[in-house]
Amino acid sequence: MINSLKNQVNNLEKSLNQQTELINSQINSIYENVDNKLNKQVSLLSEFTYKSGKFYPEDKTAELIIEMVPKVITNDTSLYITFDGKETPCIKNKNKYTAVITVDAFKYYDESPVLNIKSGTEIQTEVLEDVYVEYLYTNHLGSLNAHSTLNSIYNKYNISKPANNKTISYNGSVYFDYWKNAENNSLNTIKKAFIAIEVNNKEVKRYDVTDKLVLSEENLIGDVSLTETLNVKLNDSIEFFAIVEDSYGFIHKCLVDTHIISQKDENFIEFSSEEMIYDKDNNKLN
């Protein structure tokens, strides 16, 4: 009897929580719709879109294209955009105005473009808060995802023996998945793929594995076997990287394994396998 009552109470509490979440969601949706309608009413524009335009790999820049239709247009109406300390005039085609702004493709901008509408001597402004200018390179370059299943056999240290005689052996594989982003940019292709090994931030081995990966219209993908033996000493830091070079010359690099040689055993440490992108001069861009 008591258990049955407890179950009924629990079910009622669960149902009440679900109904509360549903009501909160509906209230938030109403607020959002009201805000959108109010913003549209006070906006100087009746239509507004933006998109990424051309990519210029040599300059590491990309175009941001903003298209707008003002609510009020007179014979002397002109529009321009101010952003990142520069003014960009808008080109008129019938009742639509277009601004093409060149920005750093690898930068996150914490500001929004500002629209300026000039009619005679009067200038009205509106902050285009819905335009997010951040890391436009992601619209044009591919992206690398990689990880490893490397196992190591370590010739442990004996402090009475010379450190330089110790070795560590690896056996396993490195998995590549490079998305070409061909839908947005068919010009960018894949040039080479590598596995690189660094000891104390200095590259000691590099293997060209391009032919071991499968290339499709969308991806470069594959699981590459790796067997390696390294001479090591105490406190050495060892890192394994998956690398893809694209046809623009950008280097896409993922750390797939890392550890430090200690006296007891190799010391594995937490690490991020997030993609890093470098230019031809080895400058990190993202």
Name the burial class of residue 141, with classes exposed (0-12), middle (13-18) and buried (19+) by CB atoms within 10 angstroms of its CB: buried
Cα 152 to chain centroid distance, Å, stands at 31
- pLDDT score for 209: 95
Confidence band (pLDDT; 50, 70, 90) for 37? Answer: very low
CB of 82 within 8 A of CB of 73?
no
| Positive or negative: CA dihedral 263, 269, 273, 274 | negative
CA distance 211 to 193: 8
- pLDDT tens for 91-132 read 999 889 999 999 999 999 999 999 999 988 888 999 999 999
Instruction: State the residue for tokens 């940019």.
Output: 185
pLDDT tens per residue, range 238-270 = 999 999 999 899 999 999 998 887 766 555 566
Distance CA 192, CA 211 (A): 9
Strand, helix or coil at 202?
A: strand
pLDDT attached to residue 218 = 80
Closest CA to 257 of 166, 179, 175, 193: 175
Tens-digit pLDDT profile for residues 191-217: 899 999 999 999 999 999 999 999 887
Of 130 and 2, more confident:
130
Q: What are the C-alpha distances in Å from 286 to residues 40, 105, 121, 138?
A: 35, 10, 43, 10
Between 204-208, 225-229, 232-236, the lowest mean confidence (pLDDT) is in 232-236
* 3 state DSSP class of 101: strand
Phi–psi pair at 229, nearest 5 degrees: -125, 130
pTM of the model: 0.75
The most confident of the ranges 4-8, 34-38, 189-193 is 189-193
For residue 9, what pLDDT is reported?
A: 61
